[in-house]
Amino acid sequence: MATFLVAHGAWSAGWAWKKMRPLLRARGHELCTPTHTGLGERAHLASPNIDLETHIADILGVLQAEDLANVILIGHSYGGMVATGVADRARERIAALVYVDAFAPGDGDSVFSLTPDRRTAMIDAAAKNGDGWKMPPSPMPPDTPEADQAWAIPRRMPQSLKTFEQKLRLHHGELTLPRHYIYCKRCPPDDRFRQFYDRARREGWGHHEIDASHNPHITAPEALAALLDRIAK
């Protein structure tokens, strides 16, 4: 049995992994899906001071409070930034790091530095959001079923711009723990995650493809659960 801990994507929250819980439980695993500060059921804590370090602290707090060890840490999308920071600072608790169509940053990287083509558009979108510090959610992939969009879209929350601006700092050098990259093949024309899948292949990580768009935990949960089960074994 494995314990999976999720660092979820931008604008999302623990609720987005609801479909995965019974599927992984049926395979004998535990799935922990905390929500980052300022999002989901913690939206009442939203503040312009929330940054990447806040979200790293959220997940580190779960590891410590729940006394979790030998964890398979999952980072989805923006959550790859968070998971990388957590894996750096809690190496003794992490058995493996799994990126699901996620940023896989190095020291000094930020979301903006890794996607410079989107930086201006994101800052402009935040400015138009009324307060200047909240980045509104991006659209869900067009192949997301209507029922899933009706469920997810009202629950997605604006996110502090600082979480995208702040650079990740690795305190203990490059990561050496086992890593896997799950690449979603139904990518958009401006696919920004292929670069990390290619890096995984070059550097000899576990690398996997899944026939899904960017949110397989919502649109392809059975396939994702089966893949995570194989990784855990």
- pLDDT at site 122: 85
Q: Confidence band (pLDDT; 50, 70, 90) for 105?
A: very high
157 vs 147: CA distance, rounded Å? 18
pLDDT band, very low/low/confident/very high, at 53 (cuts 50, 70, 90): very high
Q: Where are the domains of the chain?
A: 3-232
The answer to whether 47 is a known catalytic residue is no
Cβ-based neighbour number of residue 130 at 10 Å: 10
CATH pick for 3-232 out of 3.40.50.720, 3.40.50.1820, 3.40.50.300, 3.40.350.10: 3.40.50.1820
- What pLDDT does 128 receive? 83
DSSP class of residue 143 equals T
Q: How far is CA 71 from CA 31, 109, 190, 195, in A?
A: 10, 24, 33, 26
Is residue 147 predicted with pLDDT exceeding 80?
yes
Residues 188-202 have a mean pLDDT of 91
> What is the value of pTM for the model shown?
0.97
Q: Could you say which of 12, 47, 77, 113 is catalytic? A: 77
What integer best gives the mean pLDDT of the chain?
Answer: 96
Mean pLDDT over 191-214 rounds to 96
The SS3 call for residue 180 is strand
How distant is the alpha carbon of residue 79 from its chain centre?
Answer: 2
pLDDT exceeds cutoff 90 at 59: yes
How many angstroms separate the first and last alpha carbons of the chain? 9
The model's pLDDT over 5-27, given as tens digits with 9 standing for 90+, comes to: 999 999 999 999 999 999 999 99
Q: In what order do the strands lie in the sheet with 3-7?
A: 30-32, 3-7, 71-76, 94-100, 179-184, 206-210
Q: Which amino acid appears at position 113 of this protein?
A: S
Mapping DSSP onto H, E and C, the string for 12-81 reads CCHHHHCCHHHHHHHCCCEEECCCCCCCHHHHHHCCCCCCHHHHHHHHHHHHHHCCCCCEEEEEECCHHH
